[in-house]
């Protein structure tokens, strides 16, 4: 049965997935440099044909994914109404998804088809409706919740996530957006089913009971 999965969501040692003041030149905010160094290194190692814990975890997050759901803040730095529709995401003309991506936003715009098979759909529908659309688009494969923190929290509160891969890195941020804030009882019913560490990060896998 297809699952709802979160992968490679990275937090500091004190639980922050983003710092304050996110913007175009600092998409993850201030005081959070190095948050994704483990991922950059893993991607480089994979390109060089190397293996390892971080490479394995990175690749696991791409297996059997047929659609992705993300928040407006992950798609781009703009807030409020679109001033124009020239922004097409952080990933260039050929984003790495290669499938349908559903973007939660209060400010709609037409679907955006990119090179490589990625189409961004902008929606203000309830999360259950968006998830149903994503499962349909995934055609039997799993659906990934891509982020950011607020979007993951919504799906956790609704107990819709089956697997959560959390990456903890040795960084202290102090303020910003904590991933597991505001989830209330949504975290109940999960258990840690995997825990492995590299020299760069600790990978925790949580599975819904």
The tokens describing 149, both together, are 């923190």
- The average confidence (pLDDT) of the chain is 95
Q: Is the pLDDT of residue 93 over 80?
A: yes
Q: Which of 141, 180, 179, 144 minimizes the C-alpha distance to 160?
A: 144
Domains of the chain: 4-19+27-76+96-208 (3.40.430.10)
Cβ-contact 124, 106 below 8 angstroms: yes
The per-residue pLDDT for 185 is 81
The per-residue pLDDT for 78 is 85
Q: Is the pLDDT of residue 55 over 80?
A: yes
| Digit-coded pLDDT (tens) for 136-195 | 999 999 999 998 999 999 999 999 999 999 999 999 999 999 999 988 788 888 999 999
Cβ-contact 6, 183 below 8 angstroms: no
Q: Which of 160, 203, 157 minimizes the C-alpha distance to 180?
A: 157
* Dist. CA 173–CA 35, nearest whole Å: 10
Q: Is the pLDDT of residue 84 over 90?
A: no
For residue 204, what are the CA distances in angstroms to 2, 106, 168?
21, 32, 8
The confidence band for 24, taking pLDDT boundaries of 50, 70 and 90, is: confident
119-123 and 142-147: which strand pairing? unpaired
Mean pLDDT of 67-90: 92
Reduced to 3 states, what is the DSSP secondary structure of residue 168? Answer: strand
Percent of the chain with pLDDT over 90: 86
Q: Is the dihedral of CA 164, 74, 142, 158 positive or negative?
A: positive
The per-residue pLDDT for 22 is 86
């Amino acid at each position: 049965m297809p699952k709802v999965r979160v992968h490679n969501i990275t937090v500091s040692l004190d639980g922050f997935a983003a710092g304050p003041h996110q913007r175009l030149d600092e998409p993850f905010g201030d005081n959070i440099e190095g948050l994704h160094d483990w991922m950059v290194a893993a991607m480089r190692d994979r390109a060089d044909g190397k293996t390892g814990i971080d490479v394995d975890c990175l690749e696991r997050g791409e297996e059997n994914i047929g659609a992705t759901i993300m928040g407006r803040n992950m798609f781009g730095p703009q807030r409020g109404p679109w001033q124009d529709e020239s922004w097409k995401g952080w990933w260039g003309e050929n984003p790495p998804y290669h499938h349908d991506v559903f973007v939660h936003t209060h400010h709609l715009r037409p679907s955006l088809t990119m090179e490589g098979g990625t189409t961004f759909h902008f929606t203000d529908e309830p999360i259950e409706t968006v998830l149903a659309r994503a499962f349909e688009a995934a055609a039997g494969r799993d659906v990934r919740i891509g982020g950011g923190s607020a979007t993951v929290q919504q799906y956790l509160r609704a107990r819709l996530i089956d697997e959560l891969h959390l990456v903890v890195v040795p960084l202290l941020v102090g303020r910003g957006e904590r991933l597991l804030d505001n989830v209330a009882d949504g975290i109940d019913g999960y258990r840690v089913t995997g825990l492995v560490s590299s020299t760069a990060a600790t990978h925790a896998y949580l599975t819904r009971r």
